[in-house]
């Protein structure tokens, strides 16, 4: 797919803007049906799409099929969410002459879509964070239109997916231009700069994300930049857990950090374990890794970056190698090693993301030091505690909640469900905002509230009318009324 | 009050950080009681505080008393809001082996306070947007601690208010350091730069706010900057309304734009009226302004800025003077004039904020052109439509909702109630985010979500437990349960 010219980007954004103004007038059920039409279109084209993805990536059909299923499910879940009107936060304050600070006028607030959204596709999820991934789905659910910047790692899939989406939207009666695709680095920059773009969703590297964040904030009109920049994902194993089940913990750890060749933002990149001895760790890890068959990384660029990051960490004098990997096209996993004392002296050791099948094991001396060690970490998408129920360091849990978007108990961070309670985000550098890019709450990013003061009933948006024609949840004078819920 | 040194700022922020970690463990009712203790302390000291404010500003006792009452009411309203737990968005997804995209683990999300918040006081609201104004109150309600940068326009009031707050918090058993005061421009910058500051609330000029926004986003760890930067607040009068009640409209307009000497971010700075003729407008406006007695502006700096901005607009060749004002210490109001054709040719005429008792009247030729004229505006805190019910340009309303935080029908934008449905914000440059600085929704700015995966019940935060010990609203498997609501 060839790069989109500045003129073509402008045309796409203007068409998206027109579509936004047509599309914003439909009711929730119609908008939900557009998402469902896209879901149906993707499902009908599953075989063809997965075949293209399989050709353009090395991820393999089972993974690709489940990723596409996830993307389809996500559209259906979001359709259900907006059909309920949960995302509107419709709030009605009737006029009140006795309001505590003085007479209150009739005031009503509802969330409205922000406009045209620019979405950047990710290399590592050809479906779930690409053309019709979480950012695109949540922006469309919010009522926005989307111009998507394809990731160059799977261009044919991007084009085919976009065609599927466009055909589905057309057949469902959505306005033309509601969704479109652009390609190329310059097109991405043009997108962030375009005055009609009102928000950006991004999944990618910290360096690239940071540059685009600055760009978005330096526009004449700064706009929100929802960047999911990656993760280190520290896992802490207590002495109690280590004594009872170190072998299974290491087996599960290896499964998690090598899953998808470690090309997940939720890959466990750090494992804190009690002092054990390098030889014992080496033996256990080699055993756990023994049956592993590597596959190709997503691109040669990722392989180069992977080698660079692993080498940079390995070359630190405080770091040694537990399991020697390779940087072949199908790289064997690498496990590095350091100690709690070393990272206390040099916390930067904990901040090197290695995007690929590598992880760092840190041996610590004393469970009491775990909160201090956790305190060295930057913001994390996830942190995990492996422990025994009766011996839980609650002070460590508090530190973990303070630096993470999601905290796991005796689990592993790879595998991110799409649901109501999901939060896939975290303090910087995990993300650039306090929002989530996964789950129904992701829709909120692309909405902004508007209040209406003293409006005649007939001119209010439907969700704000007393007779509630759309039967959405309404907070009325401070109390919620949910007609859809018995 | 003397400037706070960098070392003192650091000490204050560290103390606030310690207080945050102590304070975050209390239940909602205890935290609410802290807000109520502050409200009580302010109420008990009303006479003394108003006397100082009256000495340091020219706003007059009635206005100052009602502003303090508003601030007290706000604390009480927020106390009630957090006692309900509405702000927590507690969400519980039980594990579900049949979840559409594959088995779902037990996942629960709750909003948690972000940490220490820096708040900048405003000149024009010595109570409502200063030491214990909306930003401070909402940050404390969220569970954050606050370091407040006093505005130099009322230093004694800042100190006395801060002492009242500190005494109230101490007597209520809140941890020391939860709230503190710093002063001086450098202290403000140090505050934004401090690594333990996790969000900033700001009310002030577009230039100052934009500089601090860049500063907050350029930190090693970028943080949210909630800036309320001001407003133009366009008012549109339809031909129908003008024909029936032009005199009362102009009387109300004059009352609104001169209220508090026009030193409100919601002052109506633009009035679009049908073609009438300058002489007739001049006559009506002079009549409406005839009884007006000016008072001093808030500071000599504001007077200088006011003269500069009015002169800049008046000197444009497309602009003439309808009512000649003065720039005396107690300035007589100024009304400037231009036409719809002129602003279509030069939209910048609509973008000059004049902070003080001045406004611009635009005569338009044709109601059909109103949406085009509105389309020239930048983001607004408010826009207003003055019309007759049976002759409403709905296409204009749609444009207004698209550029405003609050849209008013046959009202005037000054006077911002504090309630559940209030949204005091708007697209840039009105604010720097999609949030509000007034109303209960302001609390949300200082929270971030954390998800807990597969946690044992006893280790979950109280709002996420199945037995719901705090009786907060919980969304359980997609459906809301509100035990506090019958």
Give pLDDT tens digits for B238-258: 999 999 999 999 999 999 999
The answer to whether residue B485 scores a pLDDT higher than 80 is: no
The strands making up B380-386's β-sheet, listed across from edge to edge, are A479-481, A474-476, A90-93, A107-113, A447-453, B404-409, B380-386, B234-237, B270-274, B358-364, B334-339, B320-323
Query: What is the rounded distance in angstroms from the CA atom of residue B200 to the CA atom of residue B189?
Result: 11
Token duo for residue B289: 């302004």
Can you give the C-alpha Rg of chain B in angstroms? Answer: 24
Query: What is the rounded distance in angstroms from the CA atom of residue A428 to the CA atom of residue A404?
Result: 10
Region B427-453 average pLDDT: 96
Query: What is the rounded distance in angstroms from the CA atom of residue B304 to the CA atom of residue B392?
Result: 40
Supply φ then ψ for residue B111, to 5 degrees: -80, 135
Find chain B residues with C-beta within 8 A of A378's C-beta.
Answer: 221
Q: Is the pTM of this model over 0.90?
A: yes
Which residue from A224, A454, A485 is facing B408, i.e. has the nearest CB?
A454
* Shortest CA gap B261–chain A (Å): 21
Say if the Cβ atoms of B213 and A224 lie within 8 Å: no
Backbone φ/ψ region at B298: left (φ over 0), alpha (ψ -120 to 50), beta: alpha
The per-residue pLDDT for B92 is 98
Say if the Cβ atoms of B421 and A108 lie within 8 Å: yes
Query: What is the rounded distance in angstroms from the CA atom of residue A463 to the CA atom of residue A474?
Result: 8
- At B468 the three-state DSSP class reads coil
Confidence of residue A483 (pLDDT cuts 50, 70, 90): confident
* Proportion of chain B above pLDDT 70, given as a percent: 100
Handedness of CA B277, B283, B286, B291 (dihedral sign): negative
Confidence of residue B205 (pLDDT cuts 50, 70, 90): confident
Domain ranges of chain B: 6-229+433-481, 234-409
Confidence of residue A391 (pLDDT cuts 50, 70, 90): confident
Query: What is the rounded distance in angstroms from the CA atom of residue A76 to the CA atom of residue A69?
Result: 11
Q: Is B265 a catalytic residue?
A: yes
Region A213-237 average pLDDT: 94
Domain A6-229+434-481 has CATH 3.40.605.10: yes
The answer to whether residue A206 scores a pLDDT higher than 90 is: no
pLDDT 10s digits, A12-24: 999 999 999 999 9
**Nearest of A479, A461, A483, A467 to residue A26 by alpha carbon:** A461
Region A389-403 average pLDDT: 93
The per-residue pLDDT for A438 is 96
pLDDT 10s digits, B51-66: 999 999 999 999 999 9
The answer to whether residue B391 scores a pLDDT higher than 90 is: no
Confidence of residue B228 (pLDDT cuts 50, 70, 90): very high
Query: What is the rounded distance in angstroms from the CA atom of residue B125 to the CA atom of residue B378?
Result: 24
The per-residue pLDDT for A467 is 97
pLDDT 10s digits, B90-143: 999 999 999 999 999 999 999 999 999 999 999 999 999 999 999 999 999 999
Query: What is the rounded distance in angstroms from the CA atom of residue B210 to the CA atom of residue A214?
Result: 13
Region A291-305 average pLDDT: 94
Mean pLDDT value across chain B: 96
pLDDT 10s digits, A312-339: 999 999 999 999 999 999 999 999 999 9
Confidence of residue B206 (pLDDT cuts 50, 70, 90): confident
Q: How far is CA B337 from the centre of its chain?
A: 29
Say if the Cβ atoms of A91 and B224 lie within 8 Å: no
Confidence of residue B30 (pLDDT cuts 50, 70, 90): very high
Region B84-92 average pLDDT: 97
* Shortest CA gap B279–chain A (Å): 33
Say if the Cβ atoms of A480 and B473 lie within 8 Å: yes
Find chain B residues with C-beta within 8 A of A475's C-beta.
Answer: 420-421
Find chain A residues with C-beta within 8 A of B427's C-beta.
Answer: 221, 448
Find chain A residues with C-beta within 8 A of B221's C-beta.
Answer: 378-379, 427-429
The answer to whether residue A233 scores a pLDDT higher than 60 is: yes
Region A138-155 average pLDDT: 97
The per-residue pLDDT for B207 is 86
The per-residue pLDDT for A1 is 84
Say if the Cβ atoms of A102 and B70 lie within 8 Å: yes
Could you please state the CATH topology (level 3) that the domain comprising B6-229+433-481 is classified under.
Answer: Aldehyde Dehydrogenase; Chain A, domain 1 (3.40.605)
The answer to whether residue B204 scores a pLDDT higher than 60 is: yes
Say if the Cβ atoms of B407 and A74 lie within 8 Å: no
Region A259-283 average pLDDT: 97
Say if the Cβ atoms of A409 and B485 lie within 8 Å: no
Find chain B residues with C-beta within 8 A of A485's C-beta.
Answer: 479-480
Residue pair A256/A414 in contact (Cβ under 8 Å)? The answer is: yes
The answer to whether residue A213 scores a pLDDT higher than 90 is: yes
Spell out a b/e string for B113-146, using b for 16 or more CB atoms within 10 Å of the CB, else e.
Answer: bbbbbbbbbbbbbbbbbbbbbbbbbbbbbbbbbb
pLDDT 10s digits, B351-368: 999 999 999 999 999 999
CB contacts < 8 Å between A and B, how many?
215
* Shortest CA gap B435–chain A (Å): 7
In B, minimum Cα distance to A379 occurs at B221
Find chain A residues with C-beta within 8 A of B224's C-beta.
Answer: 433-434
Mutation target for B interface from A451, A452, A456: give the one with most B CBs within 10 A. A451
Residue pair A394/B82 in contact (Cβ under 8 Å)? The answer is: no
The answer to whether residue B486 scores a pLDDT higher than 60 is: no
CATH class of B234-409: alpha beta
Which helix (H) or strand (E) segment holds residue A93: the answer is strand A90-93
Mutation target for B interface from A21, A449, A460, A486: give the one with most B CBs within 10 A. A449
Residue partners of A226: CB distance under 8 A and separation at least 6: A135, A199, A200, A201, A202, A431, A432, A433, A435, A437, A445
Residue partners of A348: CB distance under 8 A and separation at least 6: none
pLDDT 10s digits, B171-192: 999 999 999 999 999 999 999 9
Pick the catalytic residue from B81, B265, B353, B363: B265
Confidence of residue A389 (pLDDT cuts 50, 70, 90): confident
Mean pLDDT value across chain A: 96
The per-residue pLDDT for B97 is 98
The per-residue pLDDT for B57 is 93
The answer to whether residue B280 scores a pLDDT higher than 80 is: yes
Residue partners of A369: CB distance under 8 A and separation at least 6: A340, A344
The per-residue pLDDT for B258 is 98
* Shortest CA gap B115–chain A (Å): 9
* Shortest CA gap A63–chain B (Å): 13
Listed in sequence order, the DSSP H helices in A85-205 are 134-142, 155-171, 185-193
Region B287-294 average pLDDT: 95
């Amino acid at each position: 797919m060839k790069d989109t010219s500045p003129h073509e980007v402008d045309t796409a954004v203007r068409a998206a803007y027109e579509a936004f103004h047509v599309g914003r007038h439909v009711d929730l059920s119609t908008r939900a049906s557009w998402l469902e039409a896209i879901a149906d279109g993707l499902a009908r084209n599953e075989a063809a799409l997965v075949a293209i993805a399989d050709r353009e990536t090395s991820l393999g059909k089972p993974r690709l099929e489940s990723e596409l299923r996830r993307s389809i499910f996500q559209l259906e879940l979001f359709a259900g969410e907006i059909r309920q009107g949960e995302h509107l936060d419709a709030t009605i304050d009737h006029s009140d002459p006795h309001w505590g600070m003085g007479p209150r006028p009739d005031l009503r607030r509802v969330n409205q879509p922000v406009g045209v959204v620019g979405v950047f596709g990710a290399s590592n999820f050809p479906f779930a964070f690409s053309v019709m991934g979480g950012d695109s789905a949540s922006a469309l659910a919010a009522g926005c239109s989307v111009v998507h910047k394809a990731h160059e790692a799977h261009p044919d899939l991007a084009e085919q997916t976009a065609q599927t989406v466009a055909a589905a939207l057309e057949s469902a009666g959505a306005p033309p231009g509601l969704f479109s695709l652009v390609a190329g680095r310059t097109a991405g920059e043009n997108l962030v700069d375009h005055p009609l773009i009102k928000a950006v969703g991004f999944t990618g590297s910290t360096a690239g994300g940071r540059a685009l964040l600055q760009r978005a904030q330096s526009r004449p009109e700064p706009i929100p930049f929802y960047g999911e920049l990656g993760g280190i994902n520290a896992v802490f194993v207590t002495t109690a857990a280590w004594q009872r089940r170190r072998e299974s913990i290491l087996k599960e750890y290896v499964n998690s950090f090598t899953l998808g060749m470690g090309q997940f933002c939720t890959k466990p990149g750090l494992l804190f374990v009690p002092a054990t001895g390098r030889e014992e760790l080496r033996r256990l890890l080699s055993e756990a890794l023994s049956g592993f068959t590597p596959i190709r990384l997503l691109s040669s660029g990722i392989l180069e970056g992977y080698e660079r990051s692993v080498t940079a960490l390995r070359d630190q004098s405080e770091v040694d190698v537990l399991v020697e990997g390779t940087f072949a096209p199908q790289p064997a996993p690498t496990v590095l090693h350091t100690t709690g004392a070393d990272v206390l002296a040099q916390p930067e050791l904990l901040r090197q993301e290695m995007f690929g099948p590598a992880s760092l094991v840190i041996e610590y001396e004393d469970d009491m030091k775990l909160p201090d060690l956790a305190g060295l970490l930057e913001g994390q998408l996830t942190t995990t505690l492996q422990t025994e129920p009766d011996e839980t360091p609650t002070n460590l849990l508090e530190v973990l909640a303070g630096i993470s978007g999601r905290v796991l108990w005796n689990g592993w961070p790879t595998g991110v469900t799409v649901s109501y309670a999901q939060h896939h985000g975290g303090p910087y550098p995990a993300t650039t905002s306090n929002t989530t890019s996964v789950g129904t709450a992701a829709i909120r990013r692309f909405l902004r509230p508007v209040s209406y003061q003293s409006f005649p009933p007939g001119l209010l948006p439907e969700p704000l009318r007393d007779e509630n024609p759309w039967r959405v949840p309404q907070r009325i004078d401070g109390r919620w009324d949910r007609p859809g819920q018995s």
